[in-house]
Amino acid sequence: MELHQLRYFVATAECGNVSRAAERCFIAQPSLSQQLKKLEQHLGTMLFDRLGRGVALTDAGRALLPRARRILAEVRETEANLRREAEDGPGTLVVGAIPTIAPYVLPPALRALRRAYPDCPVSVREDLSEALVEALENNEIDCALLSTPLDDDLLDVEVIGEEELLVALPTGHPAAGRPEMRVSELRGEPTVALEDMHCLARQVQHFCSTRHIASRVVCRTTQLSTITELVALGLGLSLVPEMAAATDRSGRCRYLRLRPGKPVRQIAVAWRAGRSRPVAATRFIEAVATRFRSGGHSFVRPH
């Protein structure tokens, strides 16, 4: 049983005439008659008595008519709701972000999304880059906020901004009162670093190695918040993102720019290649990108 057959059946029943039903459905009469016969064959019963100039419903036809009308009405409602939700509705959002971005970027972006779509269900997955890439490939999340480089043929990657990495040092450090620190001054300094599983840790290592700065790591941890606490206690210096520095209101650390050749990282959004982009995900990424374009990514607050 096919939907167009039900439409032809209802039209014929309401018109009482095959010719008028064909005109109403914008189809040739022989084609409509053929589809009615196929419907009767499928159901194994006659739906109409053919009466020369018109038709009349059989008992089976009278039983089918309200059901057919209900089915067609539900289909029309479904189509209308689907179009409306696709064009205007937020749908749902499942977004991923790496831990060195998530706490600083997700809250304001999700707040903007909530203002636009207060009823949009949101799920956040905070994980390492490799896990988020795999989740994108498996269509488990809609999009992910990551840091470049990202080399995967299954992903579409768009850079939406960049930020400096700053030197975090305790307030008692001799350089704490300055706005900048030279790269050469990092040599010999004890440092606190993220574990290598973080892409940020690998980016910092690459920056240091290309400038021949031998790292003297005295402690490794998995959280940026722990990094700042250890720096504040005087265990060592660290390179941290601008966005992390912007949220530190403790006053126990100072954040300096590095010169020359400032270290930066790019912030990117990744999508599964070939997938359509949900309305909510697109709006969310627009909120993040707007923050960067407006200068909201420039988080440096030297003390």
Domain at 78, CATH number: 1.10.10.10
Residue pLDDT, tens place only, 155-171:
999 999 889 999 999 99
Residue 92 domain flag = no
Give the C-alpha separation, 157 to 150, whole Å: 7
Q: In this structure, are residues 261 and 184 in contact, taking their beta carbons and an 8 Å threshold?
A: no
Do 80 and 137 belong to one domain? no
Q: Residues 19, 22, 26, 29: what is their CA dihedral angle, to the nearest 10 degrees?
A: -80
pTM: 0.70
Residue 219 pLDDT greater than 90, yes or no: yes
Q: Which domain holds residue 48?
A: 3-87
Do 70 and 119 belong to one domain? no
Predicted pLDDT at 280:
85
Predicted pLDDT at 294:
65
Do 156 and 262 belong to one domain? yes
Residue pLDDT, tens place only, 75-101:
988 887 777 666 655 567 899 999 999
Give the C-alpha separation, 263 to 204, whole Å: 8
Over residues 197-207, the mean pLDDT reads 92
Predicted pLDDT at 94:
92
How many domains, in total, are found in the chain?
Answer: 2
Q: Is 100 helix (H, G, I), strand (E, B) or coil?
A: coil
Please tell me which residue, 301 or 143, carries the higher pLDDT value. Answer: 143
Do 141 and 46 belong to one domain? no
Q: Which of 52, 67, 87 is the last residue of a domain?
A: 87
Give the C-alpha separation, 238 to 220, whole Å: 11
Give the C-alpha separation, 163 to 240, whole Å: 10
Within 10 A of 235 (CB to CB), how many other CB atoms are there? Answer: 16
Give the C-alpha separation, 17 to 232, whole Å: 88
- Tell me the residue length of the chain: 303
Residue pLDDT, tens place only, 13-27:
999 999 999 999 999
Do 52 and 163 belong to one domain? no
